[in-house]
Structure formats: structure tokens, C-alpha cells
């Protein structure tokens, strides 16, 4: 005997499956840093690493349940999102 799920039950089932997949495939901090460096170019990446070691640039990895973000704070500027990662994909900011 099959249980009648209905539309709401099916929607909840798909939401749970999506949540499990999103959580399992969330990019790591290392993968996000590598992607940001590859988009910025070798000189900007080197300058960012130098600035980070001097304390002028701060990269912060935010690990949320279904996705992750990498933010960057430069000296007295406000913190900006450099990359967002979800479902194994990393989207970088162009600014």
C-alpha cells in the first residue's frame, strides 16, 4: 500500500533532497580562494597574499548550511563578497 504524499509531500521531499545535495557539494575555502586567484590574475593574487600577510587584506570564509561565501576586507574599505559557492560551483565577483 502506497502512502499518498500529495503535492506538499513531494515538494518537501524534493527540498530535503536538494538540501542534502547542496550541503554535500558545497565548495571548500581552498577551492574558493583558488578560483578567486585564477579570476584576478597572477599579480593581483600575489598582491592579495602579500597584503594578507601584512594584515592589510583579510579574506574570510563563511560556511553556511547550504552554501558558502568568501569575503575580502581591504584596509578601511567595507567588506565585500568575492565569491559564492553552491552545488559545487563557485561564482566570483567581477568588481
* The pLDDT of residue 49: 78
- H or E element in which residue 74 lies: strand 68-74
Domain boundaries, the chain: 27-92
Q: Report d(CA 24, CA 42) in Å as an integer.
A: 30
Residue 68 confidence class, pLDDT cut points 50, 70, 90: very high
- 71, pLDDT greater than 70: yes
Q: Report d(CA 22, CA 86) in Å as an integer.
A: 6
* The pLDDT of residue 77: 84
94/59: higher pLDDT: 59
Spatial contact of 88 and 35, defined as CB atoms under 8 Å apart = no
* The pLDDT of residue 61: 92
pTM reported for the whole predicted model:
0.73
Amino acid at each position: 500500500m502506497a502512502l499518498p504524499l500529495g503535492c506538499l509531500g513531494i515538494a518537501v521531499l524534493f527540498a530535503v533532497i536538494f538540501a542534502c545535495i547542496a550541503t554535500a557539494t558545497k565548495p571548500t575555502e581552498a577551492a574558493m580562494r583558488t578560483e578567486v586567484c585564477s579570476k584576478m590574475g597572477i599579480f593581483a593574487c600575489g598582491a592579495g597574499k602579500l597584503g594578507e600577510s601584512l594584515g592589510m587584506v583579510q579574506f574570510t570564509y563563511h560556511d553556511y548550511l547550504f552554501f558558502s561565501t568568501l569575503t575580502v576586507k581591504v584596509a578601511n574599505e567595507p567588506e565585500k563578497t568575492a565569491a559564492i559557492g553552491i552545488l559545487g560551483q563557485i561564482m566570483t565577483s567581477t568588481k
